[in-house]
Amino acid sequence: MSVNHANASWEGDLKSGSGHIKTDRGSLDTPFTFSSRFEGAPGIGPEDLVAAAISGCFSMALSNELDGRGNTATRVDTRSTVTLGPDPAGGFHISSIDLEVRASVPGIDDAAFQDAAEATRTGCPIAKLYAGTTINLDAQLVS
- 46-141 maps to CATH 3.30.1330.10: no
Residues 6+ apart with CB under 8 A from 129: none
Would you state the pLDDT for residue 26? 86
Q: Which amino acid is at 138?
A: D
Per-residue pLDDT of the chain (143 residues; tens, 9 = 90+): 889 999 999 999 999 999 999 999 989 999 999 999 989 899 999 999 999 999 999 999 999 999 999 999 999 999 999 999 899 999 999 999 999 999 999 999 999 999 999 999 999 999 999 988 999 999 999 98
Would you state the pLDDT for residue 73? 98
Would you list the domain boundaries of the chain? 6-38, 46-141
What pTM was computed for the model?
A: 0.91
Q: Is 68 exposed, middle or buried (0-12, 13-18, 19+ CB in 10 A)?
A: exposed
